[in-house]
Amino acid sequence: MKTRTTVALLLASLACHAETPQQIRQTYATEAAGQQAGFTPSAKRGEAFFRQRFANNDKMPGCFSCHTDNPLNAGQHAVTGKNIRPLAVASNAERFSDPAKVEKWFGRNCKEVVGRACTPAEKADFVAYMSEVR
């Protein structure tokens, strides 16, 4: 039931797309709290996740493989060499403003790098870090 409510909320937010990073973080945090009572997003955990090296993938072991060690900087795709604009909101005001885009890239990059979907808690922490890093 709770999951269904969250999915409905998420779909509603997908339909009207423009949101703030805070709203997007809140959607994931609410979903995470449904699985883990008292969950609060942590930029510190988000940073640790960003820096984590996942063993399953030599070519792109972590988020930093394309987004660099510093999310305030522009990145470069590890495979195609294409430029990637900074992930941090402080450097790129367009980040975490379109829930559909955020979901699409969490989906793609988590699967590729982590080898599974990211949890709502991981997403909330990640958005917290990208919103707060200066």
Stretch that binds ligand HEC, among 9-17, 30-38, 40-48, 106-114 (CB under 6 A): 106-114
By CB under 6 A, name the one of 110, 121, 124, 133 that touches ligand HEC: 110
| x-or-dash string of contact with ligand HEC, 37-76, rule CB under 6 A | -----------------------x--x-xxx---------
In the numeric block, the tokens 């990640």 are attached to 126
Of 19, 41, 18, 16, nearest to 28 by C-alpha is 41
29-to-63, 64, 88, 117, 124 alpha-carbon distances in Å: 21, 23, 19, 16, 5
By C-beta, is 19 or 39 nearer to ligand HEC? 19
92-to-25, 42, 97, 111 alpha-carbon distances in Å: 17, 21, 11, 24
126 binds ligand HEC (CB under 6 A): yes
Shortest distance (Å) from residue 84 CB to ligand HEC: 4
By C-beta, is 5 or 16 nearer to ligand HEC? 16
